[in-house]
Amino acid sequence: MIYYASENVAIPNLHRYKIKGWLRRVALSYQKKVGDLTYIFCDDEKILEVNRQFLKHDYYTDVITFDYSEGDTISGDIFISLDTVRSNAEKYGVPYGEELQRVMVHGVLHLCGVNDKGPGERKKMEAAENHALTLFW
């Protein structure tokens, strides 16, 4: 199941049925199944609080993923700052909806085992995001 919650912001208008199928296709491309995913949409202040409290990082970010996966079933909580999504969409000159999808799938890709912190991993994550976006239909 995919759940949606919010803190300090409204839940974005999403095509939930399409997103469900899309995320299943993405997970399947990594030989994974979707278990319980919870998207928590929030503002910059909430994501900074989560980043400080749980990761000991003192900076804003667009997405934080907590992994509860077991075996080949991915599950987790994915916090998304809609403030940062909006500013990144403007910064990169892409539509807000596209940037939101990119960040939503970014969390799922982490649950599938794609990393972005080590040498060369950011480029691999971007390629995985781009491929995942082509699976949305």
Transcribe the chain into DSSP letters.
Answer: -EEEEEESSPPP---HHHHHHHHHHHHHTTT-EEEEEEEEEE-HHHHHHHIIIII---S--SEEEEE--BTTEEEEEEEEEHHHHHHHHHHHT--HHHHHHHHHHHHHHHHTT---SSTTHHHHHHHHHHHHHHT--
Q: Assign a CATH topology to domain 2-134.
A: Collagenase (Catalytic Domain) (3.40.390)
Answer yes or no: is pLDDT of 135 > 90.
yes
Mean pLDDT, the chain, as a whole number? 96
pTM of the model: 0.94
Answer yes or no: is pLDDT of 31 > 90.
yes
Answer yes or no: is pLDDT of 75 > 90.
yes
Answer yes or no: is pLDDT of 137 > 90.
no
Q: Mean pLDDT across the stretch 113-123? A: 91
Sorted by where each begins, the domain ranges of the chain are: 2-134
The whole-angstrom separation of Cα 125 and Cα 91 is: 19
Q: How many other C-beta atoms can be found within 10 angstroms of the C-beta atom of residue 104?
A: 26
